[in-house]
């Protein structure tokens, strides 16, 4: 909240009010204008400049307090609306069970990072991870316990990557991780760390400790040339590597052949 006098040395309150309104960034600023100018024309000028309320001088202190309280209520209402808006934005992009990015959001991030990788000439890593034998957990212990296992596995996956990597729930018990500026060697180290982080101790649940393991497929992409390989191509390669991890015994990491982010397949998406 700003309480401005119409007459300010070097800059009048009207111009200052206009400058406040010209800056859209940040929370709303409630402006109360104090003025000795009491004509309707002057009031209109002040309100047109962006003032929310005005008070003519000389003013009663109690009236000023009342106007300030009214402005405070408006700002509190705006704060509540912004909180609801932020919550809705979060819910629209995040999985309600795990708090990870949901499928639509993580796919959008994959496409964005694919293009960014080519633009800046840095490698990109993609990991597909699947919780082994998850159907048996649901069948044996029930879906609430299965949900608890998924939440803990999601937490462990997040703990095994950098804080600026993107982790999403791709579907069911499958996770998609996008790692910007990550070399092939670093990607392999991260994937193995992730596997160990998930499997090294059982998940504690109301039904007792449940051992869990993770199968992982990874692909390392490299920037080359001007064309952009679609994110789906990287996703398909990581998914094929994940399939190999499943068929080769589970609880392991398999790596797809290196894929260039620009290739003959690559008309820009």
Tell me the catalytic residues: 173
Place of tokens 């962006």: 50
Question: Beta 31-35 vs 2-5: how paired, if at all?
Answer: parallel
Residue 203, beta-bridge partner list: 210
Query: Do 164 and 180 form a contact (C-beta atoms < 8 A)?
Result: yes
How far apart (Å, rounded) are the C-alpha atoms in residues 198 and 212? Answer: 7
Q: Where are the strands (E) in the chain, listed by range?
A: 2-5, 31-35, 53-56, 124-131, 166-171, 174-180, 203-205, 208-210, 214-222, 253-255, 259-260
Q: How many CA atoms lie within 13 A of 16 on its CB side?
A: 18
- In sequence order, the 6+-apart residues with CB closer than 8 A to the CB of 37 are 6, 43, 56
Residue 184, Cβ density class (10 Å: 0-12 exposed, 13-18 middle, ≥19 buried): middle
- In sequence order, the 6+-apart residues with CB closer than 8 A to the CB of 105 are 93, 94, 168
C-alpha pair distances (Å), 64 with each of 34, 37, 49, 51, 55:
10, 17, 20, 15, 8
């Amino acid at each position: 909240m700003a309480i401005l006098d119409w007459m300010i040395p070097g800059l009048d309150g009207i111009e200052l009010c206009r400058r406040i309104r010209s800056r859209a960034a940040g929370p709303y600023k409630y402006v109360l204008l104090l003025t000795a100018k009491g004509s309707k024309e002057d009031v209109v000028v002040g309100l047109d400049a962006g003032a929310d309320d005005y008070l003519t001088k000389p003013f009663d202190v109690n009236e000023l307090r009342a106007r300030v309280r009214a402005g405070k209520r408006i700002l509190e209402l705006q704060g509540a609306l912004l909180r609801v808006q932020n919550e809705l934005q979060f819910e629209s992009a995040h999985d309600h069970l795990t708090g990870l990015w949901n499928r639509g959001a993580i796919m959008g991030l994959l496409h964005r990072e694919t293009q960014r990788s080519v633009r800046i000439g840095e490698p990109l890593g993609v990991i597909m991870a699947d919780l082994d034998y998850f159907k048996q957990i649901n069948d044996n212990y029930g879906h609430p316990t299965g949900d608890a296992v998924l939440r803990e596995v999601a937490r462990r996956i997040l703990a095994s990557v950098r804080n600026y990597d993107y982790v999403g729930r791709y579907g069911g018990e499958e996770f998609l991780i996008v790692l910007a500026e990550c070399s092939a060697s670093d990607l392999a180290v991260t994937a193995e760390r992730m596997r160990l982080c998930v499997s090294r101790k059982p998940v504690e649940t109301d039904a007792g400790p449940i051992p869990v393991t993770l199968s992982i497929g990874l692909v390392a992409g490299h920037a080359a040339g001007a064309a952009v390989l679609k994110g789906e191509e990287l996703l398909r390669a990581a998914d094929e590597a994940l399939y190999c991890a499943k068929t080769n015994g589970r609880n392991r990491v398999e790596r797809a052949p290196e894929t260039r982010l620009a290739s003959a397949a690559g008309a820009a998406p």
